[in-house]
């Protein structure tokens, strides 16, 4: 189809009706189709960009949030709730999030997010007698070690919050993939 | 490539006669602006339909962000207009298109009136056209409330009060439109449902009838 253009220039001036020359009908359908397509695009592009906007919005980085005194943290994971200010389109709220914080054998603190990496239910520490001292998910039986290492069902270890200690308080920040296992 | 795809489908489903039947018909000389420029008045019906298509598309996209709830309606409109990319354009298309569709429809009605095109055998098409006119007014009225700002609220208040002035049944009409005793939460959801489901459904059915009749009967002759 597109080679009609090329041949048209070569054969310019020749009498019409030869097979390779662009016909008036073809020229008109290309111009009208092109103009129509341009106008339709002018109409559709704003609407499509409008619809895909959530994908293209930059992700907001989370601030450090004070959770609990440093002295409360033990070797056994405990759950602590904290509030994050959440902006969801036109709806702003203070969502309550949970972190399970404990110390490892070397005394280093770490905070895990209890969202199961299988399908997003909420895990609990030491919740099931069959999996003692483990995180257990009630939905499909995924379970994890204290470090968040996935032992069954779940494809990935539990996500981890960045954590810092300042003036005797534990702060959590950005959520990221587990770095301990 | 498109030609090959078309041919592949056409071989199996024989679609050419279908669209030929819809699209391939002569445009009489007296309605062709290329022959007589004054024939542009015959374009108003098509332009009304074109803007209606824009209204339907932009409206579909707007409902991705809009929420028909008295707490959030205004906030969601404010968000989609100012925070979402091209929101001001998409809402602008719907806002200005709403006025333009009434203008085009009015001009189309004038053309039909002054060319006498409503006369036999096209009386039914005139009636269907009038029904479309009132459905469009209904779409304008119900859509006006949805941003839930002061203008929307008081325009609806006034509109419903006018409807309430109908003798005997006025109060019932008002309650039915409001979905209660005041212009409030239930009015907004009700108007939203009417605006995006009921009236567009009726409109598409009426348009189908309008177009079927004009294809069947053809455009009326020259003056």
pLDDT of residue B22: 83
Q: What is the mean pLDDT of residues B11-32?
A: 89
Whether residue B125 has a cis bond before it, omega within 30° of 0: no
pLDDT of residue A9: 46
**pTM as predicted:** 0.84
Asked if B86's CB is within 8 angstroms of A46's CB, the reply is yes
Chain A residues bordering chain B (beta-carbon distance below 8 Å): 1, 43-44, 46-47, 49-51, 53, 56, 89-91
Question: Cα distance from A45 to chain B (closest Cα, Å)?
Answer: 9
Asked if A50's CB is within 8 angstroms of B3's CB, the reply is no
CB contacts, 8 Å: A89 with chain B: 65, 76, 79, 83
3-state secondary structure at position A124: strand
Residue of A29, A44, A90, A91 best to disrupt the B interface, most CBs of B under 10 A:
A90
Q: Which residue of B has its CA nearest to A48?
A: B61
Question: Cα distance from A161 to chain B (closest Cα, Å)?
Answer: 29
pLDDT of residue A19: 64
Q: Which residue of A has its CA nearest to B67?
A: A90
* Distance, CA of A158 to CA of A51 (rounded, Å): 32
Q: Which of B92, B46, B66 is nearest to B189 (CA)?
A: B66
Would you say residue B32 has pLDDT above 70? yes
Question: Cα distance from B217 to chain A (closest Cα, Å)?
Answer: 28
Asked if B93's CB is within 8 angstroms of A46's CB, the reply is yes
pLDDT of residue B24: 83
**Helix/strand/coil (H, E, C) string of chain A?**
CCHHHHHHHHCCCCCCCCCCCCCHHHHHHHHHHHHHHHHHHHHHHHHHHHHHHHHHCCCCCCCCEEEEEHHHCCCCCEEEEEEEEEEECCEEEEEEEEEEEEECCCCCEEEECCECCCCCCECEECCCCCCCCCEECCCCCCEECCCCCEEECCCCCCCEEEEEEECCEEEEEEEECCCCC
Question: Cα distance from A90 to chain B (closest Cα, Å)?
Answer: 6
Query: H-helix or E-strand containing A171?
Result: strand A169-176
pLDDT of residue A35: 97
Q: What is the mean pLDDT of residues B123-128?
A: 97
3-state secondary structure at position A9: helix
| Chunked mean pLDDT (size 10), chain A, 181 residues | 46 55 92 96 95 91 88 92 91 93 92 95 92 93 94 94 93 91 84
pLDDT of residue B21: 85
Q: What is the mean pLDDT of residues B97-106?
A: 97
Tell me the pLDDT of chain B averaged across its residues.
Answer: 95
Q: What is the mean pLDDT of residues B72-98?
A: 97
Rounded to two decimals, the ipTM of the complex is 0.87
pLDDT of residue B5: 95
Q: Which of A160, A161, A119 is nearest to A141 (CA)?
A: A119
CB contacts, 8 Å: A44 with chain B: 57
CB contacts, 8 Å: A39 with chain B: none
Tokens of residue A63, six digits: 């601030």
Would you say residue B212 has pLDDT above 70? yes
pLDDT of residue B13: 95
């Amino acid at each position: 189809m597109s080679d009609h253009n090329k041949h048209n220039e070569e054969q310019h001036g020749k009498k019409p009706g030869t097979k390779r020359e662009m016909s008036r009908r073809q020229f008109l359908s290309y111009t009208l189709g092109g103009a129509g397509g341009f106008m339709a695009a002018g109409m559709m592009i704003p609407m499509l960009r409008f619809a895909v906007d959530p994908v293209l919005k930059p992700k907001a980085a989370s601030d450090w949030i004070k959770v609990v005194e440093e002295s409360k943290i033990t070797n056994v994971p405990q759950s602590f709730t904290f509030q994050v200010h959440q902006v969801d389109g036109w709806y702003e709220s203070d969502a309550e999030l949970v972190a399970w914080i404990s110390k490892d054998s070397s005394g280093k603190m770490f905070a895990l997010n209890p969202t199961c990496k299988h399908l997003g239910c909420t895990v609990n520490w030491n919740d099931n007698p069959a999996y003692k001292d483990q995180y257990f998910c009630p939905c499909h039986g995924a379970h994890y070690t204290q470090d968040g290492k996935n032992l069954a069902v779940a494809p990935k270890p539990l996500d981890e919050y960045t954590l810092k200690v300042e003036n005797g308080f534990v702060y959590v920040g950005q959520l990221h993939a587990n770095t301990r296992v | 490539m498109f030609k090959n795809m078309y041919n592949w489908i056409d071989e199996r489903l024989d679609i050419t006669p279908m669209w030929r039947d819809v699209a391939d018909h002569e445009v009489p000389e007296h309605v062709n602006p290329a022959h007589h420029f004054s024939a542009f008045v015959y374009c108003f019906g098509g332009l009304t339909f074109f803007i209606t298509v824009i209204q339907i598309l932009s409206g579909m996209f707007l409902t991705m962000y809009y929420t028909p709830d008295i707490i959030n309606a205004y906030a969601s409109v404010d968000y989609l207009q100012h925070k979402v990319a091209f929101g001001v354009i998409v809402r602008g298309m719907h806002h200005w298109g709403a006025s333009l569709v009434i203008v085009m429809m009015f001009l189309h009605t004038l053309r039909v009136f002054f060319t006498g095109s409503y006369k036999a055998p096209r009386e039914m098409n005139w009636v269907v056209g009038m029904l479309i006119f009132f459905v469009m007014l209904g779409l304008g009225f119900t859509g006006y409330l949805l941003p839930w700002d002061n203008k929307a609220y008081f325009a609806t208040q006034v509109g419903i009060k006018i409807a309430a002035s109908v003798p005997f049944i006025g109060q019932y009409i008002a309650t039915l439109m409001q979905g209660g005793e005041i212009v409030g939460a239930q009015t907004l959801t009700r108007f939203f449902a009417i605006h995006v489901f009921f009236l567009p459904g009726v409109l598409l059915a009426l348009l189908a009838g309008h177009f079927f009749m004009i294809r069947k009967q053809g455009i009326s002759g020259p003056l």
